[in-house]
């Protein structure tokens, strides 16, 4: 109880302090406040992962009833992820924001919003009163909006921010609908009322779950509710992009998992629904990521892909619960939650390194970059590690969670009927294609941005950021490698969160034991791989030390030293892919070809758009607009008319009740007749 008060006091104290400090002070205060709060909450989180549970009852107010704060292992796991990303993100942000020091007021707002976001996210993890939950949710949405529109002098940023704000409020509508429904029927704001109410009738349970699912799917960016995500991520400053991708969209995943715990429903059906949406999200996300030329937008689409992978884990877990398959349920939920952590790690690392690139070159258009590995070797190495990890390739962490997912799917094969076999087939196909396409995407991203020759001359010097700025990035890398080579350790941490889901259905089986041996073997495999690489590398070093090594220009079949423009660009790298996947993509070209003996300047530009966005967002909006435009005559810009509307409004407000009374009298009169 005291600790909760301390938590609130830290936030409020820092908020009051921030406006009165100098710019450097604001950053440090926010960072310290986040670290303090993180330490405070991680204490509970770690205890919950050991198997404890906490429950505090806050008095609340007349409107909100009592506010129960319940911290279980699921909250604990997500709180740890939130804290990790926030500590690294705000530390990185201290350095990233240095260039914006002059804009003091903006920095203040930014700092306040960051702190509020941290508090709100942690609150969402533990609050179990729908009224307070909504407030925390709204604080999160608004503060994230303020963080996104930091560079609000740019039109694109404001547009992206508004897009995010509107879509997140659409999600809040569904959330409110769900909560109000339960409140109306049971008269309680407590989350336990949701469980009680939903167990009455399976149909209600499914409808209620779908209501919440839409909310959290919009937040998580599950296709086709993803359209805000590719705009908001690139518009935000790098550390905010990392936090958004690492944590904010994960709170959607948390919501889905929480509702699965609260609502007792037909898990199999829900599992298939989630699995379907997830496979589609995964494939669609990566398919669009490949054709993006904006590095941060590319990463944003990859977030959609990874949410798809996490969702597949949840779907499989649900199906395991529904079909009484203990191992399947365990593998599914473990894969989902481990991938949540993994994605938070490598995606925030990717966004931070992209931030380094932006800081050094002032552009994130990959077609203008190239050869950065020589100027920024550390950033390049960090990006490379994260890129390999996100493709799910050993010896890094992405492999472990994808492996659990594959193992789940292959385990499910053994006792499946025809329908589920086909589902498994397509899920495996989807997962494999996601892996392959991710590799295509990240070889492109890394190769074009960091390798080869620079495609454009920059007037300013390009240099590596200072070591302190890279420190959080190294920390993340360390965890990425640790999960890769000691997977057993991290799976053991997941024991309690997974048991929350499975212990009701399978009380006796202590389940993650199933993979202990396998993960031990993988661990050996990873070490073996690293060992062989080291061995061969030393051998090579020894062999080269004896012979002559020279450095020459690139040979390229004796087309020596051409201009950098002859290099493969990002666009040409994916040309054959683009042609093959044309039905799913929306591309438009803007080009001028060579004509005549003395050709004038030519250009080629390709623009990509999101097909689903056109179908699900643009077209409906167009329809609504054309409907509403018929009433445009009302808004004619004439002041007299507006005054007239006002008068009509006032008169009708006064008259309608009177007329209504007269009307009732008249009815009475008729009745008397």
Partner 1 sequence: MLSFALIFIAAIFFSGIISRTKSIFSGRKGPGIMQPIKDIIRLFRKGAVYSQTSSFVFQIAPTIYFSSVVMAMLIVPFGQSKGLISFNGDFIFFAYVLALGKFFSIISALDTGSSFGGMGASREALYSMFAEPAFFILIGSLALLTGHSSFQEIFSALHLGSYITYALAILATFVLLMIAMIENSRMPIDDPKTHLELTMIHEVMILENSGFDLGLILSAGCLKFAIYGALIVNLFIGIFPYEYTIPLFFITQFLIAITIGTIESFMARFRMGHNAQFIFALTSVSLLIFFGALLILGKFI
Q: Considering the complex, what minimum distance in angstroms separates the CB of residue 416 from partner 1?
A: 8
Q: Does 399 bind partner 1 (CB under 8 A)?
A: yes
Quote the CA–CA distance of 666 and 659 in Å, as a whole number.
Answer: 10
Q: Considering the complex, what minimum distance in angstroms separates the CB of residue 301 from partner 1?
A: 17
Quote the CA–CA distance of 27 and 21 in Å, as a whole number.
Answer: 9
Q: Does 510 bind partner 1 (CB under 8 A)?
A: no
Q: Considering the complex, what minimum distance in angstroms separates the CB of residue 493 from partner 1?
A: 21
Of residues 513-532, those binding partner 1 (CB under 8 A): 517-518, 521-522, 524-525, 528-529, 532
Binding mask 365-394 for partner 1 (x = CB under 8 A): -----xx-xx--x--xx--x---x--xxxx
Quote the CA–CA distance of 164 and 245 in Å, as a whole number.
Answer: 13
Of residues 576-635, those binding partner 1 (CB under 8 A): 576-577, 579-580
Residue from 154, 575, 605, 614 touching partner 1 (CB under 8 A): that is 575
Residue from 61, 192, 554, 652 touching partner 1 (CB under 8 A): that is 554
Residue from 20, 559, 631, 633 touching partner 1 (CB under 8 A): that is 559
* Cα→Cα distances 210→174, 177, 213, 219, 316, Å: 9, 11, 5, 14, 18
Q: Considering the complex, what minimum distance in angstroms separates the CB of residue 555 from partner 1?
A: 6
Of residues 531-550, those binding partner 1 (CB under 8 A): 532-533, 535-537, 540, 543-544, 547-550
Residue from 145, 209, 352, 406 touching partner 1 (CB under 8 A): that is 406
Q: Does 487 bind partner 1 (CB under 8 A)?
A: no
Q: Does 403 bind partner 1 (CB under 8 A)?
A: yes
Residue from 572, 619, 635, 652 touching partner 1 (CB under 8 A): that is 572
Q: Considering the complex, what minimum distance in angstroms separates the CB of residue 450 from partner 1?
A: 8
| 539-540-542 Cα angle (round to 5) | 65
Q: Considering the complex, what minimum distance in angstroms separates the CB of residue 488 from partner 1?
A: 12
Quote the CA–CA distance of 301 and 633 in Å, as a whole number.
Answer: 41
Of residues 16-45, those binding partner 1 (CB under 8 A): none
Binding mask 2-21 for partner 1 (x = CB under 8 A): --------------------
Residue from 15, 58, 210, 451 touching partner 1 (CB under 8 A): that is 451
Q: Which of 217, 226, 355, 347 is nearest to 274 (CA)?
A: 217
Contacts with partner 1 by CB under 8 A: the residue count is 88
Contact between 123 and 143 (Cβ < 8 Å): no
Stretch that binds partner 1, among 11-19, 107-115, 486-494, 560-568 (CB under 8 A): 560-568
E strands within 377-431? none
Q: Which of 271, 269, 179, 171 is nearest to 216 (CA)?
A: 171
Consecutive H or E run containing 55? strand 54-61
Q: Kindly tell me which of 555 and 631 has the beta carbon lying closer to partner 1.
A: 555
Distance of CA 166 to the CA centre of its chain: 17
Q: Kindly tell me which of 547 and 629 has the beta carbon lying closer to partner 1.
A: 547
Q: Which residue has the tokens 């999960």?
A: 483
Contact between 139 and 112 (Cβ < 8 Å): no
Q: Does 60 bind partner 1 (CB under 8 A)?
A: no
* Cα→Cα distances 628→163, 618, 632, 649, Å: 20, 15, 7, 20
Q: Kindly tell me which of 11 and 290 has the beta carbon lying closer to partner 1.
A: 290
Contact between 203 and 309 (Cβ < 8 Å): no
Distance of CA 425 to the CA centre of its chain: 27
Q: Kindly tell me which of 584 and 666 has the beta carbon lying closer to partner 1.
A: 584
Rg of the chain taking only CA atoms, in angstroms: 28
Strand partners for 23:
none
How many other C-beta atoms lie within 10 A of the C-beta of residue 602? 10
Q: Which residues contact 299 (CB under 8 A, 6 or more apart)?
A: 233, 241, 245, 289, 347, 350, 351, 354
Q: Does 461 bind partner 1 (CB under 8 A)?
A: no
Q: Which residues contact 431 (CB under 8 A, 6 or more apart)?
A: 279, 282, 309, 312, 402, 405, 406, 409
Q: Kindly tell me which of 524 and 641 has the beta carbon lying closer to partner 1.
A: 524
Stretch that binds partner 1, among 39-47, 204-212, 448-456, 583-591 (CB under 8 A): 448-456
Of residues 407-426, those binding partner 1 (CB under 8 A): 407, 410-411, 413-414, 417-418, 421, 424-425
Q: Does 261 bind partner 1 (CB under 8 A)?
A: no
Q: Considering the complex, what minimum distance in angstroms separates the CB of residue 477 from partner 1?
A: 16
Q: Kindly tell me which of 27 and 392 has the beta carbon lying closer to partner 1.
A: 392
Distance of CA 402 to the CA centre of its chain: 18
Phi, psi for residue 70 in degrees, rounded to 5? -115, 125
Q: Does 456 bind partner 1 (CB under 8 A)?
A: no
Consecutive H or E run containing 591? strand 586-592
Residue from 59, 507, 553, 637 touching partner 1 (CB under 8 A): that is 553
Q: Kindly tell me which of 60 and 371 has the beta carbon lying closer to partner 1.
A: 371
Quote the CA–CA distance of 373 and 446 in Å, as a whole number.
Answer: 10
């Amino acid at each position: 109880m005291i600790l909760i008060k301390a938590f609130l006091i830290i936030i409020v104290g820092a908020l009051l302090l921030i406006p009165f400090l100098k710019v450097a002070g604001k950053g440090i205060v926010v960072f310290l406040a986040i670290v303090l709060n993180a330490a405070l909450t991680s204490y509970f989180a770690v205890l919950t992962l050991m198997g404890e549970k906490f429950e505090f009852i806050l008095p609340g107010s007349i409107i909100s009833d009592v506010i129960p704060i319940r911290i279980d292992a699921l909250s604990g796991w997500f709180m740890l992820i939130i804290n990790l990303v926030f500590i690294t993100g705000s530390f990185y942000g201290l350095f990233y924001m240095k260039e914006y020091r002059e804009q003091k007021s903006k920095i203040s707002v930014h700092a306040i919003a960051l702190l509020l976001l941290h508090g709100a996210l942690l609150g969402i993890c533990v609050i179990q009163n729908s009224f307070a939950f909504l407030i925390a949710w709204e604080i999160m949405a608004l503060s994230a909006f303020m963080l996104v529109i930091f560079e609000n002098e740019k039109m694109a940023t404001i547009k992206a921010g508004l897009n995010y704000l509107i879509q997140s409020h659409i999600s809040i509508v569904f959330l409110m609908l769900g909560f109000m429904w339960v409140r109306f029927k049971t008269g309680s704001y407590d989350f336990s009322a949701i469980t009680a109410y939903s167990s009455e009738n399976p149909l209600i349970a499914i409808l209620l779950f779908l209501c919440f699912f839409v909310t959290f799917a919009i937040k998580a960016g599950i296709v086709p509710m993803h359209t805000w995500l590719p705009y908001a991520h690139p518009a935000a400053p790098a550390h905010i992009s990392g936090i958004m991708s690492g944590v904010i969209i994960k709170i959607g995943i948390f919501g889905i998992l929480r509702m699965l715990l609260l609502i007792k429903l037909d898990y199999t059906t829900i599992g298939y629904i989630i699995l379907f949406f997830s496979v589609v999200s995964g494939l669609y996300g990566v398919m669009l990521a490949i054709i993006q030329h904006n590095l941060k937008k590319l990463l944003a689409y990859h977030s959609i892909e990874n949410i798809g992978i996490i969702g597949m884990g949840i779907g499989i877990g649900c199906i395991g619960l529904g079909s009484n398959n203990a191992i399947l349920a365990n593998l599914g939920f473990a894969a989902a939650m481990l991938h949540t952590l993994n994605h938070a790690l490598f995606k925030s690392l990717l966004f931070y390194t992209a931030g380094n690139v932006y800081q050094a070159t002032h552009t994130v258009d990959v077609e203008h970059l190239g050869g950065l590995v020589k100027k920024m070797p550390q950033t390049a190495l960090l990006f490379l590690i994260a890129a390999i990890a996100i493709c799910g390739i050993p010896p890094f962490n992405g492999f472990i969670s994808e492996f659990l997912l594959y193992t789940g799917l292959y385990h499910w094969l053994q006792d499946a009927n025809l329908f589920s076999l086909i589902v498994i087939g397509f899920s495996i196909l989807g997962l494999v294609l996601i892996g392959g396409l991710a590799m295509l995407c990240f070889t492109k991203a890394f190769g074009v941005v960091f390798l080869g020759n620079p495609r454009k001359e920059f007037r300013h010097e390009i240099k590596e950021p200072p070591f302190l700025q890279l420190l959080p990035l190294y920390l993340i890398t360390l965890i990425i490698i640790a999960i890769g080579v000691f997977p057993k350790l991290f799976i053991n941490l997941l024991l309690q969160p997974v048991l929350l889901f499975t212990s009701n259905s399978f009380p006796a089986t202590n389940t993650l034991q199933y993979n202990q041996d396998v993960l031990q073997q993988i661990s050996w495999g990873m070490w073996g791989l690293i060992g062989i690489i080291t061995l061969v590398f030393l051998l090579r070093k020894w062999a080269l030390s004896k012979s002559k090594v020279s450095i020459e220009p690139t040979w390229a079949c004796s087309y020596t030293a051409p201009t950098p423009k002859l290099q493969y660009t990002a666009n040409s790298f994916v040309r054959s892919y683009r042609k093959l996947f044309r039905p799913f993509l929306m591309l438009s070209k803007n080009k001028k070809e060579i004509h005549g003996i003395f050709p004038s300047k030519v250009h080629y530009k390709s623009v990509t758009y999101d097909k689903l966005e056109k179908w699900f967002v643009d077209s409906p909006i167009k329809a609504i607009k054309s409907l509403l435009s018929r009433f445009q005559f009302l808004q004619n810009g004439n002041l007299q008319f507006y005054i007239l509307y006002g008068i009509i409004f006032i008169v009708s407000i006064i008259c309608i009740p009177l007329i209504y009374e007269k009307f009732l009298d008249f009815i009475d009169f008729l009745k008397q007749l």
